[in-house]
Amino acid sequence: MEDEKGRIEGQNERSEKEEVFTKVVRAGKRTYFFDVKSTRHEDLYLTITESKKRPGKEGKMFYEKHKIFLYKEDFEKFTEGLREAITFAGNGTAAHTTVATVTAEPEEEVAEVSATDFSDVDFDELGTR
């Protein structure tokens, strides 16, 4: 039997031990899981999972999941980018704001892209067949 995060009953012990912390956030039709996990070398990383219950074939329900893996060395840049995006979305700043891609190496050039170069995406349609 599969739970909302897609784990199977009887899953091997190693998978269960690597999960160090979990925070569940229920938001409308979606549930978000923030899981801190540990590698074999005891390095911590974060997985963010979005889970949404969907009707499948023959009326059976299943959980559609999208997962992001975020490693320690990227926490600061990810948080900064997320904070900027949330601020932008919250205050309705003009669509012509310049968006910069963030690179892992600070000495590399940062490519600039205009926000008008992106098309609208309906996230509810993603993953449907």
Q: Is the pTM of this model over 0.75?
A: no
Q: DSSP H helical segments within 6-74, as ranges?
A: 13-18
- Domain tally, the chain: 1
Residue 126 lies in a domain: no
Q: Tokens at residue 90, please?
A: 């919250």
Predicted local confidence at residue 92, as pLDDT: 74
The answer, yes or no, to whether residue 2 has pLDDT greater than 60, is no
Task: Please give the single-letter amino acid code of residue 39.
Answer: T
Are the CB atoms for 77 and 59 separated by under 8 Å? no
Q: pLDDT digits over 6-40, tens only? A: 555 544 444 545 789 999 999 998 999 999 999 98
Residue 59 lies in a domain: yes
Domain that holds residue 75: 13-84
Distance CA 30, CA 22 (A): 16
Give the position of tokens 């600070």.
Answer: 106
Residue 118 lies in a domain: no
CATH of the domain at 45: 3.10.450.700
Residue 64 lies in a domain: yes
More confident residue, 12 or 73: 73
